[in-house]
Structures are given as structure tokens and as C-alpha cells.
Amino acid sequence: MPASFPTLSLDRPDDIVAHLHALGWLTATEEVVRMEKAGEGNMNLVVRAVTTRRSFILKQSRPWVEKYPSIEAPGDRMLVEVAFYQAVSDHPAVADRMPAIFAVDEGSRSAILEDLGTASDCTDLYATGRLDPQPLATWLSELHDVQVPDPLREGLRNREMRKLNHAHIFDLPMTGAHGMDLDEVTPGLQALADEFRVRAGLRDITSVLGNLYLSDGETLLHGDFYPGSWLRTGDGVKVIDPEFGFLGAREFDLGVFVAHLHMSGHSSDECSRALKAYTRPFDRELVDRFAGVEIMRRLIGVAQLPLVRTLAEKKELLSRAERLMRA
Ligand SMILES: Nc1ncnc2c1ncn2[C@@H]1O[C@H](COP(=O)(O)OP(=O)(O)OP(=O)(O)O)[C@@H](O)[C@H]1O
Ligand SMILES: [Mg+2]
């Protein structure tokens, strides 16, 4: 990151205000009244700034994970997020369900976005289990129709973020090399994971799907289509955080989508109904296989969810993951 641009932090609010002024992102008469963490997130600095005129969201990516600064992450990911917003800007059916992007500063990997309000994301779904998936499935149909303009295509390959995600979705959960003691999550889960990891064929299935995830495709994907990226607003559910977006196979987004419907207690029939609202052709078996991997990695990988389940329930979910992976 160029030295002239600060690594912003809520510990140094004056620096944030100076940054906003330097970029002309505040009008001459506008004053920042308050700044706060916008919500729960791990990867980036995400700040809600309330001014005398409005509120907005400031987001900055840095070459590490915000919550765990010792862990490196691709520092340019804000530019991918911006490219995604640019790619969908001419598609109201997609863009209207996302925050507007007001201004971007490439040098500091920061941007300001429309504030969709303080309502929470949808990660309470794992506890409450109720969601109308139809608007989200419709949104995905529209997104997957977007023709990405040539100048944005290379950036939206998003290879570095895919590499990171590949490790956490397809590799580390199946090898256990993340080193996490799963008994600290749920006593007994470690043994379940050990036994799951050596079941015949599952490593190969995961590895084939992982290679598909790493292959370039033509469809613009959100890349992280789960309840943490869905915000409840007064204007319906909205979608945020496309930093993992890439040009790939539509079945990946669809698989992640239905995986989280499964994990929030929706039956297989309900998942099938949700997929009916996705009105473009797709390979259902491939969706199921990606869904299975997503369930597996959320249970025995590092990126755990607020999923309060007994060991028996997790065992049942892992069995469902296996059935889906073998679809
Ligand atoms: N445009 C917005 N309007 C209102 N709230 C927002 C907006 N963008 C982000 N937030 C809030 O900030 C939280 C974190 O945002 P976001 O998911 O973009 O950050 P992140 O660092 O990429 O998170 P993660 O680690 O989950 O990838 C969201 O869950 C939400 O509560
Ligand atoms: Mg994110």
C-alpha cells in the first residue's frame, strides 16, 4: 500500500476523517459526528461513518485479515469488490439489491458505499431457520446473466482470493492440516472428522470439485453467497461483500446457497423448491456436490458458523454432506 495512504483504524478516528477529506469524500460543510464498526466481519476494515448530512460505509482491504492480523490475505481484494459493483452497475435487477458504491480510491484500496442500515445479516438463520429464499434465488439468476465487460474480466478472475478460499473449502478441512481442535467446537467432533476424512473416495471427490473451482469460467459469481452476505433491510434482503466474486461455474454459487439452507434446517424438498426460483439451466448434481463440500467445510474446517447443534445433529449433517458430495 502506498505510504501516503494510511492503514485506517477505528483506534485513530482522526486519520479516517483526514483520509475522507483528502479524497474529497466529505463536503466542505460536512462533519463526521460518529464512527463505529459497521457490523460483524473478519476480513476488512468496515466502518459506518455518521456525518451531519448522512451516513455511509467505508471499507478498506489490507494485505492481512482484519480480525487476525498475523494471517496474510490478498491486499487488492477491495479492487475486486469494486470491479464486481462496476460489472453489475448496468443491471438494476442485480445492483438494486446491493449497496450503491459512491466513491473508490484504488491507491488506498478503500471505497465508500451506501449504508443499508444497522439491521443484521442473516446468520441468525442457523437458529431461527426461516427465510424466503425466492428473492435470493432470483437475484442469483440475474447475476449469472451479467456479461462482464472486457476491461473488468481479468480482475474478476480473482485468482488470489480463489486460492485462499480453495485452501479453506476444499483442502484443509479434508486433510485437517488447519490444525484446529474440533473438540473445542463440539466435544466428539474431532473423532467424527477423522473418520469422515478417510471415507473411501471423499478426498478424490473434493479434489475434483476444488479443481473445478480453480478453473476459469464465464459466469460472474458472487463467490460467498451465504447468510453473512445477506442483509435484512427495510427494502427486503440485500446482498453485500462480493470480494470473493469470480468468473466460474454457476453451480458453485448455487451449491453454497443451498448448503446454507440445509444447515439452517430446511428440508431437501425446501432446498429443491428454492432452486426452482433460479430460472436458468444448471447441473443439479454438481450443485449438490458443491453443497456437500460447503456443509462439510463449515463443520470440520476453520470457518465455523454460529451453528448450535449437538454432536448427533452434526453427525447427521455430515452424513447429508457425504450423500450430496456423492451425488
Ligand atoms: N453497505 C452496508 N450497509 C450496512 N451495513 C453494512 C454494509 N456493508 C457492511 N455492513 C455491515 O458490516 C459487516 C461486515 O461487512 P462485510 O461483510 O462487507 O465485511 P468483511 O470484512 O468482508 O466480512 P467477512 O469477514 O465476513 O468477509 C456486515 O455484516 C454488515 O453488518
Ligand atoms: Mg468479506
pLDDT tens digits, residue range 170-182? 999 999 999 999 9
The helix (run of H) or strand (run of E) holding residue 85 is helix 77-88
Residue 167 DSSP one-character state: I
Name all domains of the chain by residue range, CATH numbers in brackets.
Answer: 13-114 (3.30.200.20), 125-325 (3.90.1200.10)
d(CA 73, CA 84): 19
How far CA 7 is from CA of 2, 54, 182, 193, in Å, comes to 10, 24, 34, 39
**How big is the chain by its Cα radius of gyration, in Å?**
20
Tell me, using a 6 A CB cutoff, whether residue 206 lines ligand 1: no
CB burial of 122-157 (b: ≥16 within 10 Å; e: otherwise) equals: bbebbeeeebebebbbebbbbbbebebeeebeebbe
What digits encode the pLDDT tens for the residues 254-306? 999 999 999 999 988 999 999 999 999 999 999 999 999 999 999 999 999 99
| 44 CA → ligand 2 middle, Å | 7
Res 80: pLDDT:
98
pLDDT score at 120: 87
- Does the CB atom of residue 245 touch ligand 1 within 6 A? no
Cα 55 to Cα 116: distance, rounded to the nearest angstrom: 9
140-168 average pLDDT score: 97
What are residue 101's DSSP bridge partners? 113
Where residue 74 falls (left for φ over 0; alpha for ψ -120 to 50; beta otherwise) is: beta
Mutate which of 66, 240, 244, 302 for ligand 1 pocket (most atoms within 8 A of beta carbon): 240
The rounded distance, in Å, linking the Cα atoms of 72 and 3 is 19
Over residues 92-124, the pLDDT tens digits come to: 999 999 999 999 999 999 999 999 999 889 999
Res 5: pLDDT: 58
Is residue 16 pLDDT above 90, yes or no? yes
**String of DSSP letters for 245-306:** -EEE-HHHHHHHHHHHHHHTT--HHHHHHHHHT--S---HHHHHHHHHHHHHHHHHSSS--S
Q: What is the pLDDT of residues 217-256, one digit of tens each?
A: 999 999 999 999 999 999 999 999 999 999 999 999 999 9
CA distance 287 to 325: 9
Joined grid coordinates for residue 234: 427495510
Find out whether the beta carbon of 60 lies less than 6 Å from any atom of ligand 1. no
pLDDT in tens, 35-86: 999 998 899 999 999 999 999 999 999 999 998 889 899 999 999 999 999 9
**240 CB within 6 A, ligand 1:** yes
Q: Is the CB of 39 under 6 A from ligand 1?
A: yes
Q: Which residues contact 258 (CB under 8 A, 6 or more apart)?
A: 271, 274, 275, 287, 288, 291
Q: What is the predicted pLDDT for the residue at 131?
A: 86
3-class state of residue 56 by DSSP: strand
> Which own/partner contact pairs does 297-300 have at CB distance under 8 Å and 24+ positions apart?
297/168, 297/169, 297/170, 297/173, 298/259, 298/263, 299/189, 299/193, 300/173, 300/176, 300/182, 300/189, 300/192, 300/193, 300/196, 300/197
Phi, psi of 65 (to 5 degrees): -85, 125
User: For position 200, what pLDDT does the model report?
Assistant: 95
Q: Kindly report whether the global pTM for this prediction surpasses the value 0.75.
A: yes
Residue 4 has pLDDT above 60, yes or no: no
Number of other residues whose CB lies within 10 A of the CB of residue 229: 22
